[in-house]
Amino acid sequence: MEKIENYVKFLTHTIDDFRNFFKPDKQKELTTTILLIERTLEIIGKALEINGISIHVENRATKEIFTYTNEIKQVILNILKNAEDVLKERKVANPCITITTKEDKDAQVIEIEDNGGGISAYILPHIFEPYFSTKDEKNGSGLGLYMSKTIIEEHCNGKISAVNGDFGAKFIIELKEI
Ligand SMILES: Nc1ncnc2c1ncn2[C@@H]1O[C@H](COP(=O)(O)OP(=O)(O)OP(=O)(O)O)[C@@H](O)[C@H]1O
Ligand SMILES: [Mg+2]
């Protein structure tokens, strides 16, 4: 009974998260990168955990940013979902996602890296294009990263890029403080 009750509470909370999530939010808010990550993990963290994916978060940033919070959460969610897809599809042993926040001279940076084996060199230049997907029709529209790039670079005055790290793909989001 107790477990069921906890789970219902969790689901209720998830519904609230989603309700707020899809509200059009055109108002910028003061926030931090770590807070945006934590809020996103409240939505998708449990699903990742159920799939056996471990998540490591390392916070090395200190400054606040003034931005469209729900839009950035949407981007983080897209990237995490892609990582989940690849880790499941390739049946990676000890699947894990590492999320790091850091800052450089004029940007707050979020890095999201998985150990799913990365993106082949001939695919990498195309992943931010609309309708580009290596998944079949029902599993991918190819719009996730295109939308993410539009949000970060056209709405939020930032930059998003992808590289291959040692174990898998690494997505880098750079945000200005204002
Ligand atoms: N972490 C990752 N590791 C390996 N390949 C990736 C990763 N993230 C994205 N990709 C590649 O980039 C492509 C485009 O990603 P994108 O999120 O835009 O579309 P999608 O996931 O295929 O579909 P959807 O629009 O439903 O998200 C993917 O189909 C996949 O080939
Ligand atoms: Mg996707």
Distance CA 168, CA 121 (A): 12
**Number of compact structural domains in the chain:** 1
Closest of 109, 111, 144 to residue 128, by C-alpha: 144
For ligand 1, whether the C-beta of 71 sits within 6 Å is no
pLDDT category of residue 13 using cuts at 50, 70 and 90:
confident
For ligand 1, whether the C-beta of 61 sits within 6 Å is no
**Residue 148: nearest ligand to its CA?**
1
- The whole domain housing 82 covers 2-175
pLDDT tens for residues 100-159? 999 998 899 999 999 999 999 999 999 999 999 999 888 888 999 999 999 999 989 999
pLDDT tens for residues 37-89? 999 999 899 899 999 999 999 999 989 999 999 899 999 999 999 999 999 99
Q: How many C-beta atoms surround the C-beta of residue 122 within 10 A? A: 7
Q: Which of 55, 82, 161 to mutate to test the pocket of ligand 1 (most atoms within 8 A of CB)?
A: 82
For ligand 1, whether the C-beta of 141 sits within 6 Å is yes
pLDDT category of residue 12 using cuts at 50, 70 and 90:
confident
Q: Name the pTM for this structure.
A: 0.91
For ligand 1, whether the C-beta of 127 sits within 6 Å is yes
pLDDT tens for residues 90-105? 999 999 999 999 999 8
For ligand 1, whether the C-beta of 36 sits within 6 Å is no
Q: How far is the CA of 137 from the centre of ligand 2 (A)?
A: 12
Indicate the burial class of 15 (C-beta count within 10 angstroms; 0-12, 13-18, 19 or more): exposed
We report the CATH number of the domain holding residue 133 as 3.30.565.10
